C-alpha cells in the first residue's frame, strides 16, 4: 500500500462511494454508487428479489433490501489480499432486476435470463443477491450462453433434483437444469459443503460428473487440499461462484429457508473464498438469505461480507486481465 490511506479514501468518495455511519443515507450494496445506466462499468451489484422457486419457508425476496441495509457495516479493504475492489474496478449498484411477471415462476426465469444477457452484452460482470437458488439457472444461461462455465457452488444441497410439485425451474434443480441447458460443464463443477439427509435426491451430481465434497470430506481433507482440488477441476475456465447461505451452519446464518445443521462457520467460508484468488472468476451470487428468519441481521451481515469477498475475486480477476 504505497498510496496514503487518506488519499485513497478521498478518491473513493470522489467516485461517489458513500461512507459514514452504518445507518446513514440511502442504502446501496457495499457503498458502491447507484447507477441506472450500464455504461463504463466493470461489475454490477444486483438485487434479485424473487423467491417463487422456493419449496419450504419463503421470504428470500426480501433479501436485497436487507443486504443493502447492512452493507455499510462492511468496509472497503481486504487486509488478507490487500485489495480495495471499489478502487481497482468500476463497480456500481445497478438496482434490482426488473420482474414484470413476478407472480409467474417460468416467465420470471425468462425475464431474468434476458436481463443478464444485456449485462453480458455490456461486458458487465454480475454479482447478485438473490432470491432463492432458482435465480442462478437463468443467470448461468445468460453468462454461459457462449462458453460453458465452470461452477464453484458452496451449499448444503446439490440442487440437482428433478421436477417438484409440477415445477421444473425451482431452487432444487438449478444445476441439473444448467447442465441440461448446456451452459455449465458438470466436469468443471464443484459442490462444496453438501450435507444433511436429502442425499438420495442428488444422484444427478454423481452421474453427470460433478465433484461433490461433503462437509465431512472438507473437514477430513482440510482447506488446503480442498482448494487444490477445486483449482485442478476448474482450471482457467471462466468460473461462476454460487454461494448458498445455507452452506453456513444455522448458528451463523439462521436466516434461510431450508436450514441444515452441521455447516460451515463464517470463518471457514471466508477462508474458502479468499483462497479462490487466481481463478478466472467472472461472476457470482449469494442466494437463499431469507430475512424473516434472521436474528438481528447477523445473516444479512454475513451475506454482505460474502458479497464483498466475491467482489474482491471478480475485481482482481478483471484487474489481472487488464494488466496483461
Site residues (CB under 8 A) for a copy of itself, limited to 65-124: 65, 68-69, 73-80, 95-96, 99-105, 107
Query: Which residue, 51 or 285, has its beta carbon nearer to a copy of itself?
Result: 51
Query: Which residue, 12 or 117, has its beta carbon nearer to a copy of itself?
Result: 12
Total binding residues toward a copy of itself, as defined by CB under 8 A:
91
Q: DSSP of 142-203, one letter per residue?
A: HHTSSSPEEEEEE-SS------BTTBSSSTTSHHHHHHHTTSEEEEEEEEEEE-SS-GGGGH
Is 226:213 a contact under the CB 8 Å cutoff?
yes
Question: Which 151-210 residues touch a copy of itself, going by CB under 8 A?
Answer: 164-167, 170, 195-201, 203
Question: Which 199-258 residues touch a copy of itself, going by CB under 8 A?
Answer: 199-201, 203, 214-216, 219, 249-252, 254-255, 258
Question: Which 21-40 residues touch a copy of itself, going by CB under 8 A?
Answer: 21-28, 34
Separation of alpha carbons 219 and 268, rounded Å: 10
Separation of alpha carbons 131 and 50, rounded Å: 5
Query: Which residue, 79 or 324, has its beta carbon nearer to a copy of itself?
Result: 79
Cα atoms in the 13 Å half-sphere on the side-chain side of 295: 5
Query: Which residue, 26 or 321, has its beta carbon nearer to a copy of itself?
Result: 26
Tell me the closest approach of the beta carbon of residue 192 to a copy of itself, in angstroms: 15
Separation of alpha carbons 145 and 267, rounded Å: 34
Among 32, 41, 46, 62, which residue interacts with a copy of itself (rule: CB under 8 A)? 62
Query: Which residue, 30 or 149, has its beta carbon nearer to a copy of itself?
Result: 30
Among 38, 88, 181, 298, which residue interacts with a copy of itself (rule: CB under 8 A)? 298
Cell 436466516 -> residue:
255
Cα atoms in the 13 Å half-sphere on the side-chain side of 98: 5
- For residue 295, state whether it binds a copy of itself (rule: CB under 8 A): yes
Stretch that binds a copy of itself, among 17-25, 37-45, 236-244, 275-283 (CB under 8 A): 17-25
Separation of alpha carbons 180 and 83, rounded Å: 37
Provide the 3-class DSSP secondary structure of residue 249: coil
Amino acid at each position: 500500500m504505497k498510496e496514503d490511506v487518506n488519499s485513497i479514501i478521498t478518491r473513493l468518495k470522489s467516485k461517489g462511494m458513500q461512507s459514514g455511519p452504518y445507518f446513514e443515507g440511502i442504502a446501496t450494496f457495499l457503498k458502491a454508487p447507484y447507477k441506472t445506466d450500464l455504461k463504463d462499468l466493470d461489475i454490477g451489484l444486483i438485487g434479485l428479489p424473487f423467491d417463487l422457486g422456493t419449496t419450504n419457508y419463503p421470504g428470500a425476496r426480501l433479501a436485497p433490501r436487507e443486504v443493502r441495509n447492512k452493507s455499510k457495516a462492511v468496509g472497503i479493504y481486504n487486509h488478507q489480499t490487500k485489495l480495495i475492489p471499489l478502487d481497482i474496478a468500476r463497480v456500481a449498484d445497478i438496482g434490482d432486476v426488473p420482474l414484470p411477471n413476478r407472480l409467474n415462476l417460468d416467465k420470471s426465469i425468462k425475464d431474468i435470463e434476458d436481463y443478464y444477457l444485456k449485462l453480458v452484452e455490456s461486458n458487465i460482470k454480475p454479482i447478485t443477491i438473490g432470491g432463492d437458488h432458482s435465480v442462478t439457472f437463468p443467470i448461468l444461461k445468460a453468462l454461459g450462453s457462449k462458453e460453458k462455465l465452470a461452477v464453484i457452488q458452496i451449499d448444503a444441497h446439490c440442487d440437482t433434483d428433478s421436477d417438484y410439485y409440477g415445477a421444473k425451474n425451482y431452487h432444487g434443480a438449478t444445476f441439473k437444469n444448467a447442465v441440461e441447458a448446456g451452459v455449465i460443464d458438470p466436469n468443471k463443477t464443484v459442490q462444496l459443503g453438501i450435507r444433511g439427509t436429502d442425499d438420495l435426491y442428488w444422484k444427478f451430481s454423481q452421474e453427470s460428473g460433478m465433484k461433490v465434497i461433503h462437509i465431512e470430506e472438507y473437514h477430513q481433507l482440510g482447506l488446503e487440499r480442498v482448494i487444490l482440488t477445486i483449482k485442478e477441476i476448474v482450471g482457467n475456465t471462466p468460473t461462476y461462484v454460487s454461494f448458498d447461505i445455507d452452506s453456513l451452519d444455522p448458528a451463523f446464518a439462521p436466516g434461510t429457508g431450508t436450514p441444515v445443521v452441521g455447516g460451515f462457520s463464517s470463518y471457514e467460508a471466508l477462508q474458502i473464498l479468499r483462497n479462490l484468488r487466481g481463478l478466472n472468476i467472472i461472476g457470482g451470487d449469494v442466494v437463499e438469505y431469507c430475512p424473516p428468519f434472521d436474528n438481528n441481521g447477523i445473516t444479512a451481515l454475513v451475506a454482505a461480507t460474502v458479497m464483498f469477498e466475491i467482489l474482491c475475486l471478480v475485481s482482481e480477476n478483471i484487474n489481472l486481465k487488464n494488466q496483461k
